Amino acid sequence: MTHDHVHPVELVIFDCDGVLVDSERICVRVDAEIFAGLGVSFTEEEIVEHFVGSSSETYRAIVEERLGRPLERGWFDAYKHLYEEALDAELTVVDGITDALDALSVPYCLASNGGHASIRRNLTTTGLLPRFEGRIFSAADVPRGKPAPDLFLHAAATMGVPPSRCAVVEDSPYGVAAARAAGMRAFGYCGGLTRADRLAGDGVVVFDDMRELVGLLGR
């Protein structure tokens, strides 16, 4: 009997926010501003726990629950510019990620719960776009975002690699759950905002330095 995990990795699927671009600490600060404007409060720890890596549906549901009322359609449009301005001014790549990409000898792609426009903006701002052009997958392309496996399965199918030969690099519990649901190897990056214990789980490799990724993939 062969075990899938002995297959070499043939495709590495990267999340974007917090894995390629160091956007999450910026977004958490903007989230706090938005919540204050709506008259609802979350601590920074709660914001990291509930919202980092979440889908827009999850985000809305959690805010509505704490607000105690539904948000009107399109409520978010008034706040989008706050993220865009902050990211344009401050966004950088995650430390070590360009070294990791340079060292990879297998194909890689990107799969994010963000929309295509915001993914492209963030990659353009940080100079990473040429590395991912034509290999960008968004939750907008599939019925359900992470933690459902749809997005990772779509990325793997498009890239022509079976799930058992894919490795996913994520920094949120939602993303790690999606990778495991897709039958892929999960690598949880804890060098950003998400604590290691929130990424840990059966078969998840947790690490805090992107420069170590290629060595970990080869194990």
Residue range 73-90, pLDDT digits in tens: 999 899 989 999 999 999
Number of H helices, E strands in the chain: 11, 6
The CA radius of gyration of the chain, in Å to the nearest whole number, is: 17
Q: Assign residue 126 a region (left: φ > 0; alpha: ψ between -120 and 50; beta: otherwise).
A: alpha
Summarize pLDDT for 103-161 with one digit per residue, the tens: 999 999 999 999 999 999 999 999 999 999 999 999 999 999 999 999 999 999 999 99
For domain 24-89, give the CATH number: 1.10.150.240
Spans of all domains in the chain:
4-22+91-217, 24-89
pLDDT band at 1 (very low <50, low <70, confident <90, very high): very low
Mean pLDDT of 59-76: 93
Helix 44-51 × helix 56-67 angle, to 10°: 140
> Tokens 């749809």 appear where?
150
Cα–Cα nearest to 167, from 109, 98, 91: 109
For the entire predicted model, the pTM comes to: 0.87
DSSP state of 17: B
Cα–Cα nearest to 11, from 213, 205, 162, 150: 162
Query: Is domain 4-22+91-217 given the CATH code 3.40.50.1000 in the classification?
Result: yes
Cα–Cα nearest to 94, from 214, 219, 215, 210: 210
